[in-house]
Amino acid sequence: MIMDKLIARISELHNPTVVGLDPRLDMVPGFIRNAAFAAHGNTAAGASEAFYRFNIGLIDAVCDIVPAVKPQVSMYEQYGAAGMDAYIRTIAYAKQKSMLVIGDIKRGDIASTAEAYSDGHIGLVDVNGEKAAVYGTDFITVNPYMGRDCVEPYLRNCKAYDKGLFVLVKTSNKGSGDLQDLIIGDTSKTLYETVGGYVSEMGAAFIGESGYSAIGAVVGATYPEQAAKLRAMMPHTFFLVPGYGAQGGKAEDLAACFDKQGVGAIVNSSRGIIAAYKLDAYKDRFGEADFAEAARQAALDMKADLCKHINA
Amino acid sequence: MIMDKLIARISELHNPTVVGLDPRLDMVPGFIRNAAFAAHGNTAAGASEAFYRFNIGLIDAVCDIVPAVKPQVSMYEQYGAAGMDAYIRTIAYAKQKSMLVIGDIKRGDIASTAEAYSDGHIGLVDVNGEKAAVYGTDFITVNPYMGRDCVEPYLRNCKAYDKGLFVLVKTSNKGSGDLQDLIIGDTSKTLYETVGGYVSEMGAAFIGESGYSAIGAVVGATYPEQAAKLRAMMPHTFFLVPGYGAQGGKAEDLAACFDKQGVGAIVNSSRGIIAAYKLDAYKDRFGEADFAEAARQAALDMKADLCKHINA
């Protein structure tokens, strides 16, 4: 089962981290950008190729120390068809290098619309009566605002093709409380706890040998109190935790996301790893040409930082 | 201003409807499917080409009687890069035929991620220091679950490039109440009303000559009571109304979404128009080869049905 696989790989590498592949052109080293735009002109295809080449370097640099990558589809989608092609090729390359892949797509829609997202990203699509895999991600993120029937269409493919979800529950951003922290009726429960309850319920049929379900939750590193509440109420739900590093989440706060055995969550870092060569902490040691080595060092430093606080 | 333009076009055509371009292969006439798969093999490119050719026929058939189309990106996205190319070409073709285009993307994410969606879909992206338009939609739909800071990044492009949004407030699906109808704290206000309040606030700076803001709301046809509440509390917010026809929303229920002048909303129909030739009401009169004429007739019938109940 896919969540068992992720947990086993985390344990094998002693590293509960996922590298967010959220490239922006200003993060991509000049020599990669120049080559890509020279080959494709100043076009969306050029930008997409720059992202792909950047990702290849990053994946090569971390695939033996980090269990998973999380490409953020928006960064690719903004460049249209060429961007989606780079997204798909990035997923394929990471899988070839034995990494698990979480597609950060945050889709949320209903009925046949959700089925189309589900078939494309974690299932098979119909091509004139034959079936074809398109994106091939292991996990995707899903937005629950439209209700339980916007999550259910994904469960069928999770079961059929051994895939997993991370449903947005309590996100890491500053405004996440605008809706998610609202108290519901005369209960003392917030909206995010209500959603957490739905996620637990839907995940109950997907619990693997690890004790965790293939249906996980997104829980931000920036809200440790809320994370602790959710950890207690969702013992079988694995957390994808954004917000570490650049967004202000600290390793000591992350312990709340893990269980007593040091299992239960995977922590994302994007900019802090993929653009490490531009950060004060690394830029004296690593130049543009060493962006991949800088990413590897930053990933090792993140692992050490997490392991100090979590029994991973 | 874009919402003024949409309202003017609705008024000119006396038709507050938008045709949802949500193709599925089983809706596409055999002769189009066969030609597309013959040219591209049984591939995602074949399916995408079939959708595009189908859309061309539909747009040609309704562009002089319907003000807008709403392609549902999931249907194209499931076919990867080729699908996104068909989505983009569909948008371009509809605009060439003077239709307004609402990209039904329901994206919801934060900070630089939301900016990437915004730049791609309603703004300009960076290609090596130059700027390029990619999707070129007039409006997009947006999911608010992550908070106000997941909607704000779109406002900049709405202002800069005269674009509009429809934020999900009360959706048409059966499970929409799971979260949206929850009562907040000791107020008597639901979550959807809270979101409605945010949308009004954010839209206040975007009100045009029509009295309506460029920042609209998605309000389902299937919940007329809730729609009436929202109409009253959001006098400057234009509604995009899904759920008519196939989903069970009736024209008499839709009156709640409109103001006293018969303005204030645009009603979507997808299957009921684009696959009309397969419906009992039309299949005796129209064969597969007449799918476009059937769509035109269904669009005229929908217009007549709406106009009976709304002063449009």
Residue ranges covered by each domain of chain A:
2-309
Arithmetic mean of pLDDT, A296-307: 96
Chain B hits for A42, CB-CB cut-off 8 Å, are 127-130, 132
Q: Which CATH number is A2-309's, of 3.20.20.70, 3.40.1710.10, 3.65.10.10, 3.40.1190.20?
A: 3.20.20.70
What pLDDT, on the 0 to 100 scale, is given for residue A251? 87
Q: Chain A: residue nearest B184 by CA?
A: A184
Chain A hits for B88, CB-CB cut-off 8 Å, are 80-81
Give the other-Cβ count within 10 Å of B252's Cβ: 12
Chain B hits for A145, CB-CB cut-off 8 Å, are 108, 143-145, 168, 171, 179-180
What pLDDT, on the 0 to 100 scale, is given for residue A312? 56
Q: Do A179 and B147 touch (CB under 8 A)?
A: yes
Which phi and psi angles does A12 have, rounded to 5°? -60, -40
Helix (H, G, I), strand (E, B) or coil at B275: coil
What pLDDT, on the 0 to 100 scale, is given for residue A186? 80
Helix (H) or strand (E) holding A37: helix A30-40
d(CA B39, CA A10): 45
- Tens of pLDDT, residue by residue over B245-298, are 877 888 888 999 999 999 999 999 999 999 999 999 999 999 999 999 999 999
Q: How confident is the model at residue B197 (pLDDT cuts 50, 70, 90)?
A: very high
Strand bridging mode B100-107 / B68-71: parallel
Q: Do B81 and A79 touch (CB under 8 A)?
A: no
Least confident of B25-29, B116-120, B258-262: B258-262
Task: Measure A261 CA to nearest chain B CA, in Å.
Answer: 30
Percent of chain A with pLDDT over 90: 93
Arithmetic mean of pLDDT, B74-85: 98
Q: Is A187 on the interface with B (CB under 8 A)?
A: no
- Tens of pLDDT, residue by residue over A110-136, are 888 999 999 999 999 999 999 999 999
d(CA B8, CA B65): 13
The answer, yes or no, to whether residue B1 has pLDDT greater than 70, is yes
Mutate which of B22, B113, B140 to disrupt the A interface (most A C-beta within 10 Å)? Answer: B113
- Tens of pLDDT, residue by residue over A46-73, are 999 999 999 999 999 999 999 999 999 9
Tokens of A146: 């439209």
Question: What residues of A are labeled active site?
Answer: 106
Mean pLDDT of chain A: 96
Buried b (16+ CB within 10 A) or exposed e, B177-213: bbbbebbbeeeebbbbbbbbebbbebbeebbbebbbb
Arithmetic mean of pLDDT, B143-159: 94
Q: Is B211 on the interface with A (CB under 8 A)?
A: no
d(CA A266, CA B174): 33
Q: What do you get for the CA distance between the two ends of chain B, in Å?
A: 20
Residues 81 to 110 of A: which have CB under 8 A from any B CB? 81-85, 88, 106-110
Residues 145 to 164 of A: which have CB under 8 A from any B CB? 145-150
Q: Chain B: residue nearest A243 by CA?
A: B110
Closest CA to A100 of A166, A48, A151: A166
Least confident of A25-29, A186-190, B65-69, B240-244: A186-190
**Taking CA A132 as the corner, what is the angle to CA A127 and CA A135, rounded to the nearest 5 degrees?**
120
Chain B hits for A78, CB-CB cut-off 8 Å, are 116-117, 119-121, 125, 134
Rg of chain A in Å (alpha carbons): 19
Question: What residues of B are labeled active site?
Answer: 106
What pLDDT, on the 0 to 100 scale, is given for residue A245? 82
Chain A hits for B80, CB-CB cut-off 8 Å, are 84-85, 88, 120, 134-135
Closest CA to A250 of A280, A271, A220: A220
Q: Do B148 and A82 touch (CB under 8 A)?
A: no
Mutate which of A77, A140, A223 to disrupt the B interface (most B C-beta within 10 Å)? Answer: A77
A235 to A78, A230, A311, B97: CA distances (angstroms): 37, 8, 17, 55
The answer, yes or no, to whether residue B312 has pLDDT greater than 70, is no
Each as own residue / partner, the long-range contacts of residues B181-187 (CB below 8 Å, 24 or more positions apart, any chain) are B181/B226, B182/A184, B182/A185, B182/A191, B182/A194, B183/A184, B183/A185, B184/A182, B184/A183, B184/A184, B184/A185, B185/A182, B185/A183, B185/A184, B185/A185, B186/A186
The answer, yes or no, to whether residue A248 has pLDDT greater than 90, is no
Report the predicted TM-score, pTM, of the whole model to 2 decimal places: 0.97
The answer, yes or no, to whether residue A246 has pLDDT greater than 80, is no
Helix (H, G, I), strand (E, B) or coil at A258: coil
Mutate which of A119, A179, A198 to disrupt the B interface (most B C-beta within 10 Å)? Answer: A179
Tokens of B250: 């009736």
d(CA A300, CA A88): 27
The answer, yes or no, to whether residue B115 has pLDDT greater than 90, is yes
Q: How confident is the model at residue B125 (pLDDT cuts 50, 70, 90)?
A: very high
